[in-house]
Amino acid sequence: MHYRNGREAKNGDKVISLAGYGSGPVNINAIGILFDAKPGNDYCNGSIAPITGGQVVSACLCDCLHLDDLAALLAENGLDKRPIGK
């Protein structure tokens, strides 16, 4: 089981799920905890329990990223710090 960027997926991971099939703008489908994912499948495998509450969302692991990897992408692009205000 692997996320979009190749990182190994594990139940209990904090993840972000991206909606769509790459044909339009990126939309966030869910942010939460991965559970019930079974080894050997990166598609339609497992569920996401939203961290803000609400209904469980199906997980397509190839459309998910681990939150730590998203945080690293933001830091690489200088978006991890709030701009200094006046």
Other C-beta atoms within 10 Å of 47: how many? Answer: 16
In this prediction, residue 10 carries a pLDDT of 96
Per-residue pLDDT of the chain (86 residues; tens, 9 = 90+): 999 999 999 999 999 999 876 677 889 999 999 999 999 888 888 999 999 999 999 999 999 999 999 999 999 999 999 888 87
Evaluate whether residue 31 is within a structural domain.
yes
Residue 32 structural domain:
14-76
DSSP character at residue 61:
G
- Count of structural domains within the chain: 1
82: which 2 tokens? 């709030």
pLDDT at 44 (0 to 100):
82
pLDDT value at residue 25: 83
Query: Phi-psi region for residue 83, left (φ > 0), alpha (ψ -120 to 50) or beta?
Result: beta
CA distances from 63 to 4, 45, 69 (A): 6, 11, 13
Looking at the domain assignment, is residue 24 inside a domain?
yes
Is there a domain that residue 37 lies in? Answer: yes
The answer to the question of residue 65 being in a domain is yes
Task: State the CB neighbour count (10 A cutoff) for residue 14.
Answer: 14
